[in-house]
Amino acid sequence: MISQRTAIRLSDGRELIYFDETPDADRAKWPDTRHLPPPPPTSQLRYDPLVDEWVAVAAHRQTRTFLPPSDKCPLCPSTPEFASEIPAPDYDVVVFENQFPSFSDRVKPDEITALTDMVPVRPGIGRTEVVCFTSDHNSSFGTLPPARVRTVLDALADRTTEMSALPGIAQVFPFENRGIEIGVTLSHPHGQIYAYPTVPPRTEAMLRAARKHAEHTGGRNLYADVLAAEQKAQVRVVASNEHWTAYVPAAARWPYEVQLAPHRQVADIPALSDEERDAFAPLYLDVLRRFDALFGKPMPYISAWHQAVVGEGRELGYLHLQLFSIRRAADKLKYLAGSESAMGAFVNDIVPEAAAQRLREAL
């Protein structure tokens, strides 16, 4: 749990917030001593008229750091020899604005020029932040103590509330990419938070489905009904406790995919109660251990928090965590090839009921 929150500015003006588990850390004592250039001009959004979706274009991200050695890790605490992104010599959980943002609230609308009549362009207004789960470079989320998972959840709640209140934000999306197989460029345990200026395509699709379901059932919530059906069927449930259930979706797209949902319908992480936040940690850590045990080595995964949108359709949202891996066998990865990449039509080689059974028996 957070007992002290300290916000500072890095030398280029970006915000950094320490979430400390003890109340006595003097964070203001450690200013950023680097002389960083101003943050890069941010991205633009281009409208793809063929599919009615927005695509973010952020050229400056090509220059970001790629798998630096641990003594040059920008997410480790600073040392006398190396000034990292975090000025303090230690930290519990820390969040800061991404140096190479996909979206940013610093964008100037007049720098955006139109392309053609068919392709409107708009500034990539929004915000992207990095969340460091621990100062231990060689750790992983799955080995964090439950108390730290709670602190991370509280930090995500804080960030969701603040970023949802920024002008023009449609959805706040916390996620973790883990493993070089996923494309992680920094091995230090960390996640990210995107505050999108438009509702992302997957959320649009989920809203459409939820709206249709509500219309046909006199206002019932789609996700709540899906969860209830999975709890009744049990065959795809991997683990559960008083407040959460972890199950493999019946039509999972990925070889190993688990969704963790609270039993009470809440819109987002800030809406979770104390008890629900405490109950999340042991269940999630259990599922992560099962993932790693499947093939006897760390699973590359994506862990994605689906929160309600900020604006229209918010009442349809049901908070849940989607965890999935691209590993389908000890030495095989699932690549998004022709059918998935070109057509968005997934073919899953692992039967979801078998995946659930393997996960249940993995420990």
Residues annotated as part of the active site: 190
Burial class (CB in 10 A: 0-12, 13-18, 19+), 104: buried
Q: At what angle do helices 274-294 and 146-164 cross, to 10 degrees?
A: 120
Would you say 187 or 322 has its CB closer to Zn ion? 187
Stretch that binds Zn ion, among 28-36, 91-99, 132-140, 327-335 (CB under 5 A): 132-140
Q: Give least dist CB 73 to Zn ion, A.
A: 3
| Closest to Zn ion by CB, 137 or 263 | 137
- Cβ-proximal residue to Zn ion, closest one: 73
For Zn ion, the closer of residues 75 and 210 by Cβ is 75
Euclidean distance between the first and the last CA atom of the chain, given in angstroms as a whole number: 28
Query: Which one of 46-54, 61-69, 181-189, 273-281 is the stretch in contact with Zn ion (CB under 5 A)?
Result: 181-189
User: Which span sits near Zn ion by CB under 5 A: 101-109, 150-158, 160-168, 182-190?
Assistant: 182-190
Q: Which residues contact 202 (CB under 8 A, 6 or more apart)?
A: none
CB of 97 to Zn ion, least distance (A): 18
Cβ-contact 87, 205 below 8 angstroms? no
Q: Does 137 bind Zn ion (CB under 5 A)?
A: yes
The contact mask relative to Zn ion for 69-88 (x = CB under 5 A, - = no) is: ----x-xx------------
CB atoms within 10 A of CB 248: 28
Q: Of residues 262-321, which lie at the interface with Zn ion (CB under 5 A)?
A: none
Return all residues near 171 (Cβ < 8 A) that are at least 6 apart. 195, 196, 199, 200, 203, 307, 309, 310
Q: Could you say which of 188, 190, 327, 334 contacts Zn ion (CB under 5 A)?
A: 188
Phi/psi of residue 134, each to 5°? Answer: -160, 155
Closest CA to 247 of 363, 361, 357: 357
Residues in binding contact with Zn ion, number by CB under 5 A: 5
Which CB, 137 or 253, lies closer to Zn ion?
137
Minimum Å distance from CB 59 to Zn ion? 27
CB of 84 to Zn ion, least distance (A): 8
- Residue 183's contacts (CB-CB under 8 Å, 6 or more residues apart) are 177
Task: Give the 3-state secondary structure percentages of the chain, helix then strand then coil, rounded to 5.
Answer: 30, 25, 45
Question: Residue 68 interacts with Zn ion (CB under 5 A)?
Answer: no
**Would you tell me which residues interact with Zn ion (CB under 5 A)?**
73, 75-76, 137, 188
